[in-house]
Structure 1
Amino acid sequence: MRKFLTVTAVVLVALGMLVVVADRVGAHYAEREIAARVSARMQEQGITSTPPEVEIQGFPFLTQVAAGRYTQIDITMRDLKGGTLPLPLLSVAAQDVEAPLSQLMDGTARPVAARVDGTATVSYASLVEASGLTGITLSSAGPNTVRVTGKVPIIGEVTGTAEVTVVDGGRVRLRATSLKGAAGSVSQAIIDAYKDRLAVTLSLPKLPFHLELKDVQTESTGLVVSFTAKDVELA
């Protein structure tokens, strides 16, 4: 009896491992197919980035296949170029995706996500470069606020703050709210003139999945840009 139970346990463990392996193999196949279709769609739309990376979340995967609905599919794109503010990394989470495996296999699938959320982080150095200004450094100073420091022509050392906001047309606005130079360095009129230069509107690269700019937040790592869209055909 003990030997029978031992054999049964070994068989069950082996079957369990086979199920897990089959589950992961199916997931990797679907990930490759979706990545290829997303890449083709991006090329059709003239979106410039490295090939997308796809990861299907949730376990077991096979139950999602049976239902033809995937809880979440994560898509990562790097080096999105275009506009005046490139995105080095765009992370996208597609929720409630309908994409039957049979359609993925025969090439007829058009995965549709009920909701898509995206985030990208832009370094402050990249933000300064995109603004066309030189000699200044930006760092986080609170919600939607950055600290401005640096040394600029004529004025010399400057310190101040600037706000970062979303403006119409899906663009990012950087605008100085305060600026001062070293005591007695130059007149306030000259400082104010330079402050006016610290007001730039930056456009983003062309985005996939009909993503729309929703919010910007200033974090210690850089400017975190958020996007969203609903009822999106992924490929």
Structure 2
Amino acid sequence: MRSPHRMTQDTDRSPEAPAPTDAPATPAPRYGPYDSNPEWDNPYEQLAGLDDRAVDTFLQKDPDAFDTFETGETPAYEPPPPAPSRRRRPRGRGPFRRALGHLSRGAKITVGILVLAAFLTLGDRWAVLYAENKAEESLKNSMNLTAAPEVDIDGFPFLTQVAARRLDTVHLTVPDVAAGRVSLAEVSATGHDVRISGEGLTGVDGADIGGVDGEVRLSFDDLGRELGASQVTFTGKGTDRVLARGTLPVAGHELALRADALIRRDGDRGVSTEVTGMRLDIGDLAVFRPGTGPNDGLHLTPSSLKKLTDETTKAKALLSVPAIVHALGVPDSQIRAALDNDRKLADLLGTPAVVDDLLAVNLVDLAAAHPDVLRRLGIDPNLLDALTGLTRPQLADRLTLGFTLPELPGEGDVRLRDVRVEPDGILVRLEGTGVSFGK
């Protein structure tokens, strides 16, 4: 059978004329085992008759095929792709081991030592964190703290220190420690030469601290809230004095408060406060100082006396009180002349001696016999009653900043070393020996 691409088409033939045939007119005799049967058909002819397009399709030329007969070219040889390698990698030879395979023996030993040191460091840090957490829980429960303290153990490696049952340095920070009426913003201490007791590397039942030094800080920002005087601010002045400035509500009136507090050490465990220069200003009209001294009580201010020269009604009401006239030591004739003549009244009130005498008059004594005079001066009698009920100890108690160190849960001696006032609070330095916890 001829190849389809070598079959050529006779262009001399007419497309309408039937194709010539070389077959003889008389069919050739059949040869085969069934020649005697006139009805026998060739099975290949039957198969060819199933699809008339089979031969036509077979004879069509593939447009994508490379026809070497027509072009006369030989296609380039393309070798078949290589078969994938089926060789398996040896087990246990990861990238890390393959990288180590190129290192020298000394380098491998160095890498091994570094890896071992890293694991030992991680284990040591885990052990110190565990010990710190256990110590924090123990201190919180033993000291009845509202917040857990912070324990920091110095030194490396930690496990060797625990094995020797001795720590070099331990830092302790406790926030918000109650100390009487006030709370200490922060108590920080450092223990040296700490000997611990317990079983195992992480078992700590108690500790004996050879020496302790620390600090206690009392914040000015928390004092107003804790003392019930939220409208009073505290600021440091020098190294031993605190200034209190603000307002204090009395009988429905907001009075300006001014006071100074002297801070000093009280024994080995306490800090005391001495409040001085305490006064309540009723505007610029009068000043109240609690106490029974000559300068205590309710007194007019120099600015209010200067205004009396322009307000003759108030001035005449004040000079109409015999006790005031007697305190001034001015003759009655001069007083009557001043009450009848405004110019003479102004001259009298402008006399320095008279001004000093009027400033020394205690209006508390005047109010008992002449309450109307206080009303004319613009002072509420109810306010005066409330002020007379305030004693110096009562006001001083509102501003006291003293405190005492809380008791330690174990044994030992912790005392104050010095007390110092800073711009933002009071700083107290501590020292101690023979402190023990737990056991």
Q: Please classify the TM superposition score into its range, dividing by the shorter chain length.
A: 0.7 to 0.9
Measured on the aligned residues, the alpha-carbon RMSD in Å equals 3.5
Deviation at 1:173, TM superposition (A): 1.8
Deviation at 1:104, TM superposition (A): 6.7
Per-residue displacement from partner, 1:134-179 (whole Å, max 9, x unpaired)?
6432112221222332244689545564321221373322223446
> 5 Å matches for 1:65-144?
65-81=162-178, 83-100=180-197, 102=199, 105=202, 109-131=205-227, 133=229, 135-144=231-240
| 1:218 aligns to 2:418 (yes or no) | no
Measure the CA separation in 1 of the matches of 2:236 and 2:207: 38
**Residue identity opposite 1:147 in structure 2:** L
Contact 2:185 2:219 in 1 (8 A): no
Deviation at 1:69, TM superposition (A): 1.2
Equivalent in the alignment of 2:269 = 170
Q: Per the alignment, in what secondary structure is the counterpart of residue 6 of structure 1? A: helix
> 5 Å matches for 1:1-235?
3-42=104-143, 47-81=144-178, 83-100=180-197, 102=199, 105=202, 109-131=205-227, 133=229, 135-152=231-248, 156-157=255-256, 159=258, 161-168=260-267, 170-178=269-277, 185-186=286-287, 188-190=295-297, 197-198=395-396, 200=400, 202-204=402-404, 206-208=406-408, 209=410, 211-235=414-438
Measure the CA separation in 2 of the matches of 1:104 and 1:79: 32
Per-residue displacement from partner, 1:6-40 (whole Å, max 9, x unpaired)?
32332222122122112212212222333343344
Q: Per the alignment, in what secondary structure is the counterpart of residue 164 of structure 1? A: strand
Deviation at 1:112, TM superposition (A): 0.5
Aligned identity (percent) is 23
**Residue identity opposite 2:114 in structure 1:** V
Measure the CA separation in 2 of the matches of 1:12 and 1:229: 43
**Residue identity opposite 1:18 in structure 2:** F
Contact 1:49 1:77 in 2 (8 A): no
Deviation at 1:96, TM superposition (A): 1.0
Larger strand percent: 1
**Residue identity opposite 2:420 in structure 1:** Q
Contact 1:164 1:172 in 2 (8 A): yes
Contact 1:86 1:205 in 2 (8 A): no
Q: Per the alignment, in what secondary structure is the counterpart of residue 156 of structure 2? A: coil
Deviation at 1:231, TM superposition (A): 0.7
Radius of gyration: which is bigger?
2
**Residue identity opposite 2:236 in structure 1:** S
TM-score norm. by structure 1 comes to: 0.76
Measure the CA separation in 2 of the matches of 1:161 and 1:231: 38
Comparing 191-200 with 207-216, which one deviates more in the overlay?
191-200
Q: Is there any run of 5+ residues in structure 2 with no aligned partner, and where?
A: 1-101, 289-294, 300-389
Comparing 195-204 with 212-221, which one deviates more in the overlay?
195-204
Measure the CA separation in 1 of the matches of 2:201 and 2:110: 36
Deviation at 1:230, TM superposition (A): 1.1
Measure the CA separation in 1 of the matches of 2:256 and 2:203: 64
TM-score norm. by structure 2 comes to: 0.44
C-alpha change, 1:171 and 1:148, in structure 2 (3 Å) is same
Measure the CA separation in 2 of the matches of 1:15 and 1:9: 10
Q: State the number of aligned residues.
A: 230
Measure the CA separation in 2 of the matches of 1:169 and 1:100: 30
